[in-house]
Structure 1
Amino acid sequence: MTIRTEGGTTTYGMAFGDAHTLILPIGPKHLLALGPENLMGTIPQVVVDRLNTVQVHAAERYVYMHPKSGLSEFTRQAAR
């Protein structure tokens, strides 16, 4: 998923050259983000929620989750 953040607004789905980063979720607790420098770290929960919200909106037609994941309410909130 391509992402660009400007002025507190996050947009997604643009060409690679217009994006600030390319995010690749690889598991429930891991993602890869391609950017200008190499680093590894932990992001705060507020950023996790923001990225998950973008993913819900980007899914448009399908959101897959495990029934026991506890994400049902989060998905409903993010989809609004």
Structure 2
Amino acid sequence: MTIRTDTTPFSYNMAFGDAHSIVLPISPRHLLALGAGNMMATVPRAVVDEINAVQVFAADRFVYMHPRSGLETFVRAKARQRPAVHVKR
């Protein structure tokens, strides 16, 4: 998923050239973020919540999570906050 981090919440799903990073969740506790510089870091909980929220907002139809992740309440709350999606028919 492509994201820009200069807005709150993060903007998502733009062209690669307009994104600050490409975020690829690879496990419940790890993600790859492709960006301008190489680094390895621990991400603060607030940033984890922002990235999780962006994944909920960007979901097409479903949000998948581990059954024991403890994220169901978070995902349901963010899904209620999700901006309206306009579908052209």
TM-score by length of 2: 0.82
Partner residue, 1:37: 37
Q: Give percent identity, aligned residues only.
A: 61
Unaligned runs of 5+ in 1: none
- SS at 2:14 equivalent: coil
- Identify the structure with the greater strand proportion: 1
Q: Does 1:55 align with 2:55?
A: yes
Q: What is the Cα-based RMSD across aligned positions, in Å? A: 1.2
Following TM superposition, the consecutive aligned residue runs of length 4 or more in structure 1 with deviations greater than 3 angstroms are none
Q: What's the CA shift string for 1:21-44, capped at 9, x where partnerless?
A: 100101000001111111001010
Unaligned runs of 5+ in 2: 81-89
Partner residue, 2:87: none
Q: Does 1:15 align with 2:15?
A: yes
Partner Cα separation in structure 2 for residue 10 and residue 74 of structure 1: 17
Q: CA deviation at 1:66?
A: 2.4
| Number of residue equivalences | 80
TM-score by length of 1: 0.91
Partner Cα separation in structure 1 for residue 7 and residue 45 of structure 2: 20
- SS at 2:73 equivalent: helix
